[in-house]
Amino acid sequence: MKTVAGIDCGTNSARLLISRVEDGHLGADVAREMRITRLGQGVDRTGVLRADALERTFAALRGYTRQMEEAGVEAVRVVATSATRDAANSDDFARGVREILGVDAEVVSGEEEARLSFRGACTSLGDDVDAPILLVDIGGGSTEFVRGSRDVSAACSMDMGSVRVYERFFASLADESAGSMTPRSPEMARALREATRMIDGLITEAERQVDFGRVRSLVGVAGTVTTITAHALDLDAYDPDAIDGTRLSLAQIQRSCNWLQNADVAQRRELGFMPPGREDVIGAGALIWSRIVDRVAKARQDEGGDIGDVVTAEHDILDGITASVLER
């Protein structure tokens, strides 16, 4: 094969990677696209994929089909994650994918999602990232934790993501707060406490399964982390080359997380690097990332170590999906 593709249908976005094959490995990117589709809108509450969310996703996939045809893609793998795992009508999604792309969508487990994320991130991590690493992938519906060096040692997936946390705790307060998570009212203060309690509980469960104290580096991937990194770098526009491999101190991460939580939606929307459709949920994602970073740093301190700077990687599950095409 000369050209392959991977598609990641997540809770908040649908993404495409078309890549050339060189010496049996992924080579240069032909295209790397992302469209906010909010496939998982309301799934946490209703347990089903909405008709309009499905159509937004199918529209993105139709566009991706044209791109793959023009690029001469010979094989594609389509993977769906948290929202589709949770939905009672996932067959509607599968049927639409089959009609549009002519292939079956794979609804992968949380553990497989974690392994694909780890594989994808490892394609770009340099030798200066000390192993074992803890890779964290914050999605719209779930967050994956993976510990490993060259191979995965432990992995788990927790049902917390930017869309899930936003819809469960903050969406009903968005009008009165303009989307800011600043606790100006008793209702917002209560929502923050409840969201933080849930997030901390799931991080505790992840720590039991993955053991944060045994890692030497923390690596974050996917849209929440890259958006926070873009804010910390004060970028005027989204620049994947500037973001990939960035090292941020704990203080830098917390400053950006605090700003994104407390800014209102209009302020977030004005940021040149903010993808349309992420401005409402990024505050919830920032809350998740800030709690994870604090917990991992504490776990390392308890073991007499130091997590040091946190690395952001642009390569993630999408790269892992595409690379896996070569083995099929």
- DSSP assignment letter at 12: S
Assess contact for 21 and 326: CB atoms under 8 A: yes
Verify that 162 and 243 share a domain, yes or no.
yes
Verify that 241 and 92 share a domain, yes or no.
no
Verify that 157 and 306 share a domain, yes or no.
yes
Whether 319 maps to a domain, the answer reads no
Which of 107, 142, 164 represents a domain boundary (last residue)?
107
Percent of the chain with pLDDT over 70: 99
Strand 25-36 with 75-80, pairing = unpaired
Residue 89: give the domain boundaries.
Answer: 3-107
Distance of CA 32 to the CA centre of its chain: 15
Whether 267 maps to a domain, the answer reads yes
Which of 72, 107, 142 represents a domain boundary (last residue)?
107
Whether 320 maps to a domain, the answer reads no
Whether 177 maps to a domain, the answer reads yes
Instruction: Give how far Cα 94 sits from Cα of 63, 143, 206, 298, Å.
Output: 17, 23, 30, 42
Which of 107, 135, 154 represents a domain boundary (last residue)?
107
The C-alpha atoms of residue 207 and residue 213 are separated, in whole angstroms, by 9
The sign of the dihedral angle between the CA atoms of 293, 297, 300, 305 is positive
Nearest of 33, 85, 26 to residue 61 by alpha carbon: 33
Verify that 156 and 92 share a domain, yes or no.
no
The set of long-range contacts for 236-242, using a CB threshold of 8 Å and a minimum separation of 24, is: 236/272, 236/273, 237/272, 237/273, 238/272, 238/273, 238/275, 239/273, 240/32, 240/314
Assess contact for 206 and 158: CB atoms under 8 A: yes
Whether 82 maps to a domain, the answer reads yes
pTM score, two decimals? Answer: 0.90
Into how many domains does the chain fold? 2
Assess contact for 75 and 69: CB atoms under 8 A: no
Residues contacting 45, CB < 8 A, separation 6+: 167, 168
Verify that 278 and 181 share a domain, yes or no.
yes
Better-predicted residue by pLDDT, 86 or 262: 262
Verify that 90 and 134 share a domain, yes or no.
no
- Residue 327, pLDDT > 90, answer no
Verify that 185 and 283 share a domain, yes or no.
yes
Verify that 146 and 71 share a domain, yes or no.
no
Whether 323 maps to a domain, the answer reads no
Verify that 161 and 291 share a domain, yes or no.
yes
Whether 139 maps to a domain, the answer reads yes
Verify that 41 and 94 share a domain, yes or no.
yes
Percent of the chain with pLDDT over 90: 71
The C-alpha atoms of residue 110 and residue 144 are separated, in whole angstroms, by 7
pLDDT tens for each residue of 284-325: 999 999 999 999 999 999 988 888 899 999 998 999 999 999
- We report the CATH number of the domain holding residue 12 as 3.30.420.40
Verify that 86 and 137 share a domain, yes or no.
no
The C-alpha atoms of residue 166 and residue 292 are separated, in whole angstroms, by 17
- We report the CATH number of the domain holding residue 225 as 3.30.420.150
Looking at residue 246, what is its pLDDT?
A: 94
- Residue 267, pLDDT > 90, answer yes
The C-alpha atoms of residue 125 and residue 311 are separated, in whole angstroms, by 9
Whether 288 maps to a domain, the answer reads yes
Strand 75-80 with 105-107, pairing = parallel
Verify that 229 and 147 share a domain, yes or no.
yes
Average pLDDT over residues 149-159: 89
CA angle 266, 268, 272 (to 5 degrees): 115
